[in-house]
Amino acid sequence: MRLSKDTAFGLLAVVLAGTYWHAADDIQRSFLSDEVGADGVPKLLATTLGILGVIVLARTVGSRHTASDDRPPLAAHLRALGLLLLCGAYVALMPIAGYFVATMALICTVTVYAGQPLGRGVVITALAGSGMLWLVFDHLLGVSLPPGFWLRALA
């Protein structure tokens, strides 16, 4: 059985409310706490979210799928997932390989992934783009960017 978008949204809201309530219940008690307590507002939010989620679910019961329930093709979601993985790899790689190399790799791979054929132009653009960003952030704005193992070894 295929869930409608609204049903899935309502279910997600209820699950999130339950999980959040559980996490709020684990908040440490403090003798400095006020009357409401550190968990007071979170529990109120969880309850409200749960109720709203149930209302969304109740509304969807018996209602037919509408035109707005049309889903984008799975391929589009998979493309998005691929890009997300590339970004995740960048985040993981940056502290090890350093900002310059990681950013160059990000520009290069994302450009190719988004449909540009791999060629000298892409590599040069990635190299120049990464260098320019490094100059702006590291030199102009004084942000301490990760140098990477290779620069550390050279130093």
Partner 1 sequence: MQELQLAWQALTSGLAIPATVFGVIWGTLACALPGISPSIAMALLLPFTYAMDPVPAIVMLSGVYVGAEYGGSIPAILIRTPGTNAAAATVIDGYEMNRQGKAGQALGISLISSLIGGLFGLVLLIVLTEPLARVALAFTPPAYFALGVLGLSIIASLSEGSVLKGLIAGIVGFMIATIGTDPMSGVPRFTFGTADLLSGVRPILIMVGIYAVSEMLAQVGSPPWAKTDARETRLVLPGWMMTKRLFKPQAIGAVIGALEGCVPGGGGTVAAFLAYNEAKRWSKKPDEFGHGSPEGVAAPECANNVVTATTLVPLLSFGIPGSNSAAVLLGALLIHGLAPGPLLFERSADVVYGLYGGLFIANIVMLLVGLVVLTPCIWLVNRPKPYLIAFILAVVFSGVYSIDQSVFDLGIVLAAGVLGYGLRYFGVSSLPVVLGVVLGYMVESNYRRSLVLSAGDPMVFLQNPISLGLLLVAAVLLVFSLVRERRVAMKASI
Site for partner 1 in 59-118 (CB under 8 A): 59, 68, 72, 75-80, 82-84, 87-88, 90-91, 94-95, 99, 103, 106-108, 110-116
Contacts of partner 1 in 111-150 (CB under 8 A): 111-116, 125-126, 129-130, 133, 136-137, 141-145
Choice from 3, 15, 22, 23 touching partner 1 (CB under 8 A) = 23
In terms of Cβ atoms closer than 10 Å to its own Cβ (0-12, 13-18, 19+), residue 38 is middle
**Exposure pattern of 1-15 as b/e (b: 16+ CB <10 Å)?**
eeeeebbeebeebbe
Choice from 11, 18, 38, 151 touching partner 1 (CB under 8 A) = 38
Alpha-carbon torsion, ordered 49, 52, 53, 56, to 10 deg: -160
CB of 152 to partner 1, least distance (A): 16
* 55 near partner 1, judged by CB under 8 A: yes
Annotate 115-132 with DSSP letters as a single string.
TPPPSHHHHHHHHHHHHH
Choice from 48, 124, 131, 139 touching partner 1 (CB under 8 A) = 48
Q: What are phi and psi of 64, to 5 degrees?
A: -85, 160
Count of residues of this chain found to bind partner 1 when the rule CB under 8 A is applied: 73
